[in-house]
Amino acid sequence: MSCFWRRQTIGYHSVFGWWFLPLMDARIPLGRTYHRLITNSVGMRSHREYPREAPSGRRRVVFLGDSYTAGDGVSNNQRFTDRLEERFAQLDALNFALSGAGTDQQLLIYEHLARHYAADAYVFCVCVENIARNLYTCFPSYDWSEHHVVYRPKPYFELADGELVLHNQPVPRDKRPHDQLGDWRCAFPYIAGEADPYAIYRDPQSHHWLLMKQLLLRFIDQAAGRPVFIVPLPMYQHYLEEAGPTYWPRFAELEDTMRGVHVVDLLPAFKAQPMATRLHLRFPDDPHYTATAHWIVAEALEYQFARHLPMLLQ
């Protein structure tokens, strides 16, 4: 007789769609591995509490992103944000990343939660896969009462005459099985005949890119002149050289040093590693970053902070 058990780590949120459960300390499976997931009282994945105002002498960086930044597969202290805190005693790295989230939800997390925390700089880590999620109107989730995967609504934006229009607010509590999605959208934009799964980035006028670009520009505008680092996170296809970095020219469009907007290319740091190391930057049965990959990201961000904003590390 077999027994099936999993720990719920995320609950419904009327604005974001879902959010980490607060005050949790759990051992979580990912494929054949386990990691420790700790959240604080506001549901950030963190073992620390952060006051909204920065204490005297502290430097503060707010991080936004999805599961690659939240750290699926590794314990809290192995993530690149925690590595940076460990290396620089005066630095607070507030990680507001949310597993499964698109750039749209990450923007809403900033607008409704993260913006209320004092920050010297922002780091928006964009998993390149998010170009698809921004057009999703739902996302797969595990139904704990019925023990199977269902699809639940998520917030999403549409472009209307170049303006962002938000839908699904508050986020409905509905759920549907995959074979009954109807008009709900949750399909990755693969291009027929293309070996590169991210070929959609080649077109600077694609609806997918124009939407992502507007989401990021809205965030930059709201940062109100504080330094912003836009950090596209390469997938294993890129650092294993199975596909070229078709995403990079698009994100490079956002570079604006006069406004303090820096776009960071992490791929050279990944590819500087020997192939034997690169093969272990993801899990054997899951594409998320391993602890070694997080270490590489931490070192690359340290270099960028030292170059553009050295006061963060002093």
Same domain, 211 and 105: yes
For residues 8 and 20, the answer to whether their CB atoms sit within 8 Å is no
For residue range 219-236, what is the model confidence (pLDDT) as tens digits? 999 998 899 999 999 999
What is the mean predicted confidence (pLDDT) over 13-36?
93
Same domain, 146 and 39: no
Same domain, 253 and 272: yes
Q: Is residue 116 part of a domain?
A: yes
Last residue of a domain, one of 169, 186, 203: 186
- Structural domain tally of the chain? 2
Higher pLDDT, 30 or 250: 250
Same domain, 170 and 301: no
Confidence at residue 97, expressed as pLDDT on a 0 to 100 scale = 98
Same domain, 114 and 212: yes
Give the rounded distance of the alpha carbon of 236 from its chain centre.
16
Q: Is residue 73 part of a domain?
A: yes
For residue range 147-183, what is the model confidence (pLDDT) as tens digits? 788 999 999 999 999 999 999 999 999 999 999 999 9
Confidence at residue 276, expressed as pLDDT on a 0 to 100 scale = 98
| Tokens of residue 224, six digits | 């109100």
Q: Is residue 32 part of a domain?
A: yes
Q: Is residue 157 part of a domain?
A: yes
CATH of residue 238: 3.40.50.1110
What is the mean predicted confidence (pLDDT) over 41-59?
96
Q: Is residue 169 part of a domain?
A: yes
For residue range 235-276, what is the model confidence (pLDDT) as tens digits? 999 999 999 999 999 999 999 999 999 999 999 999 999 999
User: Distance (Å, rounded) from C-alpha 250 to C-alpha 232?
Assistant: 10
Q: Is residue 15 part of a domain?
A: no
Domain residues for 150? 141-186
Q: What is the 3-state secondary structure (H, E, C) of 151-189?
A: EEECCEEEEECCEEEEECCCCCCCCECHHHCCCCCCCCC
- pLDDT greater than 50 at residue 82: yes
For residues 170 and 14, the answer to whether their CB atoms sit within 8 Å is yes
